[in-house]
Amino acid sequence: MTDRRIVIAGGHGKIARHLIKDITASGDRAVALIRNPDHEGAVRALGALPVVVDLEHTTVDEMADIVRGADAVVFAAGAGPNSGIERKDSVDRGAAVLMADAAERAGVRRFVQISSFGAGEPIPEGTDEVFAAYLAAKTAAEDDLRRRDGLDWTILRPGGLTDDDPTGEVALTEPPLERGTVPRGDVAAVIAALLAPGSGDRPPRAVGRTLMLTQGSFSIEDALAALP
């Protein structure tokens, strides 16, 4: 039981809801940042403290006040499948940069960012313009995070997300990795493992790394242990 405070941007999303369960089961406290006040009851029922805030219309100072004193920040927000090009940039890039700025200003070093397969790669010709904007936004958010010396960051690029039951068996490696799918519950479990505190002189796991994630044949513990 560690009793740490973890702030999750996009706290009512499907991955975040799994993550809240994992965090609270280990004795840590989850703070779920949500845009819609109607979701307060749902995240509270999972064990998280809801904080209503619009990531597209808040300031770095306001967000720094929210995250100050936390042990880690997880960026799990996204504009969603029905959003247009403008919101892909304002959420998937802009809100990610805002959260990183706020974490730095508040002195919260540990930062895990959920990205996507396809980020950091050339966008294939003929890609739908909205999906291309999504990949461009994720790439820009990754590039911004890599430039920050004030954060112990990890970027996680999951493959195609499913609502299948989690298996606890994954493929987790630095790029490249063959495309595949992964249950959202397994993505959350990997994030929870990445958030495990270091011991002694050992920093938290996978700091300064970009990791690809799909369903695979290794336990999460073994997959993390196998990282060079």
Average pLDDT for the chain: 95
Q: Six-digit token pair at 70? A: 């936390």
The pLDDT assigned to 202 comes to 60
Alpha helices in 68-208 (DSSP H): 85-87, 96-106, 129-146, 184-194
Q: What is the CATH number of the domain that holds 183?
A: 3.40.50.720
Which tens digit of pLDDT belongs to each residue from 20-49? Answer: 999 999 999 999 999 999 999 999 999 999
* Residue length of the chain: 228
> Strand 72-75 vs strand 5-9: parallel, antiparallel, or unpaired?
parallel
Query: Secondary structure of 21-88 in the HEC alphabet?
Result: HHHHHCCCEEEEEECCHHHHHHHHHHCCEEEECCCCCCCHHHHHHHHCCCCEEEECCCCCCCCCHHHH
Backbone angles phi, psi at 158, to 5 degrees: -75, 155
Comparison of pLDDT for 205 and 29, the residue scoring more: 29
pTM (predicted TM-score): 0.96
Q: Residue 177 is part of which domain span?
A: 5-225
- pLDDT of residue 109 exceeding 90, the answer is yes
CB 207 within 8 A of CB 112: no
- Residue 135: closest CA among 154, 125, 121, 146: 121
Domain count, the chain: 1
